[in-house]
Amino acid sequence: CRPRPRSHPALSFSPAAYPRPASMGLPGVGFIGLGNMGLPMARNLLKAGRRLVVHDLNPAVAAPLTAAGATFASSPAEVASAVTGEGGAVFTMLHSGAAVREVYTGADGLLSACKPQTLLVDCSTVEPATAREMSSAAAAHGCDFLDAPVSGGAPGAASASLTFMVGSDSDAAFAAATPFFTQMGKPPVRCGSVGAGLAVKLANNLALSLQMLATAEAFSLGKAQGVDPHVLAQVMNVSTARCWSSDTYNPVPGILEGVPAARDYEGGFATSLMLKDLRLALDAAAAVGAPTPSAEHARRLYRLSAERGFASRDFGSIYAFLEAARGEPDSISVALAEAWAEEAATAAGESFDSGAFGEEVVAAVAETTAPATATTVKIGQDGKVVAPSA
């Protein structure tokens, strides 16, 4: 858990606040991927006086940067042509491993025009194997590749307080990249060779998914018992339950300003992205035989939340998802049982009939004398309903 900051920075942007970079004499830098994280990260490089060249599939999102002196490039190759060579660097912040491969190795990708001795730094959260693949491709062009996923969310990107988890095969490349990192965040943490940064990031986000879920459940429970959420936050934030999800990024509307919960969970880190990170973490766990039962359960809950309309909302909307089920806890239990059964059937190579499964659940629940609110559904290893249990 992180110490609580005093306040969140405003996310507004004024071109007048940025010096024109041409006179600063710093090496040029490219930035590709100007989403919720990439845009404020690029802003901070521009603010630091860097000559900045940017690219995004949606040119309109670059308008605030070009108004302040950045140059928009029509392709990753054009970015590479403009800034690469000794001392130059290109940063990428993309949504998937496939996007990373396309940006680096596609027909108009970075490596099609990249000059030797360029730093190529990918801040995306993707498979560690993708980072190692891109590192090999970059090395063939005489360039250094680093994986440098981040933690800190949109507020950290805006305030240049991100934590960079870096994988690098070269001491010199890490040293050369550090000035760029410190203009966008805290001093970077070198986690090991290429791919290690992503391994650390996946472990971190696995923990974060559980932390947010536990925080949301605690506040939902407190509210259901008539406790003022502000009082609960006051206690949790100075006691053993203190964590980033409560004291810095609280999911309950009205507790903190400047966080996604204060604006109907818009912006921030989408539930769909948390699901992606959990999938990556669970795939990594399966590859090395690491048990992750809680994370598997969390993935099903976030998936259910996404299916019920929260996919594009910040992952803290898991609190709103839980609140929407208030009074009907079995609706979540049955849906989770169905998800588990579907996964089990798929793993066994069998078809899954959700309608028939639902009928089994209803019949099984009807056989018990336990109160409906205390009923959970017991599923066998084959994904079949065995019996309900109170």
Report the catalytic residues.
Answer: 201
Q: Which residues contact 168 (CB under 8 A, 6 or more apart)?
A: 144, 146, 174, 177, 190, 193, 194
CA dist 55 and 80 (Å) reads 11
Residue type, 140: A
Give 153: exposed, middle or buried? Use CB within 10 Å, 0-12, 13-18, 19+.
Answer: buried
The SS3 assignment for 106 reads: coil
Q: What is the dihedral angle through the alpha carbons of 370, 372, 374, 376, rounded to the nearest 10 degrees? A: 100
Which whole-number Å values give the CA distances from 106 to 110, 116, 207, 222, in the listed order? 8, 18, 34, 52
Any idea what the Cα angle at residue 142 is, between residues 137 and 146, rounded to 5°?
60
- Of 304, 319, 329, 314, whose CA–CA distance to 232 is shortest? 319
- CA 195/CA 197 separation, integer angstroms: 6
CB atoms within 10 A of CB 59: 14
- 148: three-class secondary structure by DSSP: coil
Task: Return the percent helix, strand and coil in the chain, to nearest 5.
Answer: 50, 10, 35
Distances (CA, A) of 180 to 28, 184, 342: 10, 7, 46
Cβ neighbours around 276 below 10 Å, total: 17
